[in-house]
């Protein structure tokens, strides 16, 4: 019975919810992206003000602001894609400019450039990859299952 799970193992649903929307490559479009993501998450059962909702809001706000500030191509929109399953919330923000790769470093006295430090701190994983046919996508993922808490060794 190589790949079978014991009957007592919990089974989580495998249904994935997906939301994709294009927004104008403007500060207004970035704000709208954040608002619509929060609305969609609430409709999916992740209420406003919950830790996942608040973290997603910060991630979308930062990634969308970066896309409209650094990835803007006149006449081209940004795109936000959410994917929610039982284990993970994935946030993809895509723009049409592919030649500039975001980095996490910022000078200590810089007024800008710390946004990806925030993404790095909040997301369980994040990465940048090329978008076909043109551009890049920045992906941030949040794990939804609680992590196992290490227990102290038992002593008598």
Domains of the chain by start residue, with CATH: 17-104+112-143 (3.30.565.10)
Lowest pLDDT segment from 95-99, 124-128, 148-152: 148-152
Q: pTM surpassing 0.85?
A: no
| CB 87, CB 54: distance < 8 Å | no
Length of the chain: 156
Kindly provide the b/e burial profile for residues 54-92, where b requires at least 16 CB atoms within 10 angstroms of the residue's own CB: ebbbbbbbbbbbbbbeebbeeebbbbbebbbeeeebbbb
Is pLDDT of 154 > 50?
no
């Amino acid at each position: 019975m190589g790949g079978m799970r014991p009957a007592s193992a919990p089974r989580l649903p495998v249904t994935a919810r997906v939301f994709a929307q294009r927004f104008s490559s403007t500060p207004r479009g970035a704000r709208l992206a954040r608002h619509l993501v929060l609305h969609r998450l609430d409709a999916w059962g992740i209420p406003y003000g919950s830790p996942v909702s608040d973290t997603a809001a910060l991630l979308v706000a930062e990634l969308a602001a970066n896309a409209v500030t650094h990835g803007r191509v006149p006449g081209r929109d940004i795109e936000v894609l959410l994917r929610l399953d039982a284990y993970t919330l994935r946030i993809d923000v895509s723009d049409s400019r592919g030649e500039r790769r975001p980095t996490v470093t910022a000078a200590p006295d810089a007024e800008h450039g710390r946004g990806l430090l925030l993404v790095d701190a909040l997301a369980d994983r994040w990465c940048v990859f090329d978008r076909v046919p043109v551009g890049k996508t920045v992906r941030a993922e949040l794990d939804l299952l609680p992590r196992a808490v290490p227990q102290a060794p038992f002593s008598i």
